[in-house]
């Protein structure tokens, strides 16, 4: 590569940390890399995400990419809208971090140890509905802001606990604060949680190849494709009460040879009786090459169960 590759990132500690890991991998190929910080409306406003609009964090970066102010974007994959962006390709999906959600509670408590009435902070309808559906009598308090701000609410005693993505905490060196990593049986992560999406301009073929060869992980791409296809087929976005987790598992084919397949679990929150929250759940297995179809199949099953009437807005 005979030019400097400019990677755009949001200014948050998490965004910068994940951009630096990607930058290091690209530098290892011998290419020269520069990191450019782009401020997005989502960083400036403190309103709840559903009010600012989906994709607030990504649009500003994508506009800068198309204006050629930057050449590469590193996104938290789960924050991307499901609709494709014109002129932009997903050049690489690097190996995923642990996709699970994590609890950070006072006094080292786990979810089951929090007494009824405990205040748990989260701004995500998906986390809110799954927490409420556990029937623990928790009081969900809407919060947002970066990871440090959310954690401080527990240290300050304003909240008993917060729920955050384990991957984000790991990337900024804070896994030590986790008091429980939540089992996906209790809390299915957001589609693509823990994964990164590395984009470039569609016409920038040299950069696309460099990113694909130095960063892409086939297994992560397949898993995330299945999860996001489920989300898209439910016509839901990144702030929907939808959880999904795909895992690559070993299975035997009809001749007894070991093959890799994709196992997908999904959940969607709908309004139950008397304003209660019902979590619909379903699972399915498919061949490795059928990720996209697997997501659609599972979405169809959830729709059959009643997922057409997803809880809307922050499910408080
Ligand atoms: N919506 C904010 C956001 N986007 C990505 C992550 C964490 C890292 C990841 O999931 O890749 C977070 C914070 C969180 O949910 O705790």
Q: Can you tell me the ipTM of this complex?
A: 0.96
Which atom of ligand 1 is found nearest the CA of 189?
10
Question: Which one of 53, 76, 95 would you pick to mutate in the ligand 1 pocket, going by the greatest count of ligand atoms within 8 A of its CB?
Answer: 76
What's phi and psi for 197, nearest 5 deg? -120, 125
User: Residue 253 C-alpha to ligand 1 middle, in angstroms?
Assistant: 36
pLDDT of residue 47: 61
Query: Per CATH, which fold does 223-309 belong to?
Result: Double Stranded RNA Binding Domain (3.30.160)
Q: Do domains 5-94+195-216 and 101-181 have the same CATH topology?
A: yes
Query: Per CATH, which fold does 5-94+195-216 belong to?
Result: D-Maltodextrin-Binding Protein; domain 2 (3.40.190)
| 40-50 tens-digit pLDDT | 766 666 665 55
In this structure, which residue's CA is closest to atom 2 in ligand 1? Answer: 79
| Average confidence (pLDDT) per 10 residues, the chain, 316 residues | 93 96 97 92 61 70 96 96 95 98 98 98 95 95 93 97 98 98 97 98 98 98 98 86 97 95 96 85 97 98 89 52
| 146-176 tens-digit pLDDT | 999 999 999 999 999 999 999 999 999 999 9
In this structure, which residue's CA is closest to atom 7 in ligand 1? Answer: 168
pLDDT of residue 314: 45
Spatial strand order of the sheet with 258-271 comes to 242-252, 258-271, 277-287
- How far is the C-alpha of 244 from the C-alpha of 80, rounded, in Å? 15
3-state secondary structure of 17: helix
Tell whether pTM > 0.90.
yes
pLDDT of residue 316: 38
HEC profile of 69-110: CCCEEEEEHHHCCCCCCCCEEEEECCCCCCCCEEEEEHHHCC
pLDDT of residue 42: 65
Domain limits of the chain? Answer: 5-94+195-216, 101-181, 223-309
pLDDT of residue 10: 92
Query: Per CATH, which fold does 101-181 belong to?
Result: D-Maltodextrin-Binding Protein; domain 2 (3.40.190)
In this structure, which residue's CA is closest to atom 9 in ligand 1? Answer: 194
């Amino acid at each position: 590569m005979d030019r400097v590759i400019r990677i755009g990132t949001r200014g948050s500690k998490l965004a910068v940390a994940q951009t630096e890991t990607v930058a290091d991998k690209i530098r290892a190929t011998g290419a020269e890399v520069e990191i450019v910080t782009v401020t997005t409306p989502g960083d400036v406003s403190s309103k709840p995400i559903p009010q600012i609009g989906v994709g607030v964090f990504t649009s500003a970066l994508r506009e800068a990419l198309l204006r050629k102010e930057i050449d590469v974007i590193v996104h938290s994959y789960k924050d991307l809208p499901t609709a494709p962006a014109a002129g932009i390709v997903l050049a690489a999906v690097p190996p995923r971090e642990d996709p699970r959600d994590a609890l950070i509670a006072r006094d080292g408590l786990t979810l089951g140890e929090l007494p009824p009435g405990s205040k748990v902070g989260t701004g995500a309808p998906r986390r809110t509905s799954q927490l409420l559906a556990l029937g623990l009598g928790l009081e969900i308090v809407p919060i947002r802001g970066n990871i440090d701000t959310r954690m401080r609410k527990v240290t300050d005693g304003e909240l008993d606990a917060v729920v955050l993505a384990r991957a984000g905490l790991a990337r900024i060196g804070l896994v030590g604060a986790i008091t429980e990593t939540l089992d996906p049986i209790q809390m299915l992560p957001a589609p693509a949680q823990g994964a990164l999406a590395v984009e470039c301009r569609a016409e920038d073929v040299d950069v696309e190849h460099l990113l694909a060869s130095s960063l892409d992980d086939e297994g992560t791409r397949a898993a995330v494709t299945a999860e996001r296809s489920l989300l898209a087929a439910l016509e839901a976005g990144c702030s929907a009460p939808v959880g999904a987790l795909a895992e690559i598992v070993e299975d035997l084919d009809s001749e007894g040879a070991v093959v890799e397949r994709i196992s997908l679990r999904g959940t969607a929150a709908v309004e139950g009786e008397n304003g209660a929250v019902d979590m619909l759940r379903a699972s399915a297995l498919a061949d490795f090459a059928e990720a996209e179809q697997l997501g659609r199949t599972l979405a169809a099953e959830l729709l059959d169960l009643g997922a057409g009437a997803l809880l809307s807005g922050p499910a408080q």
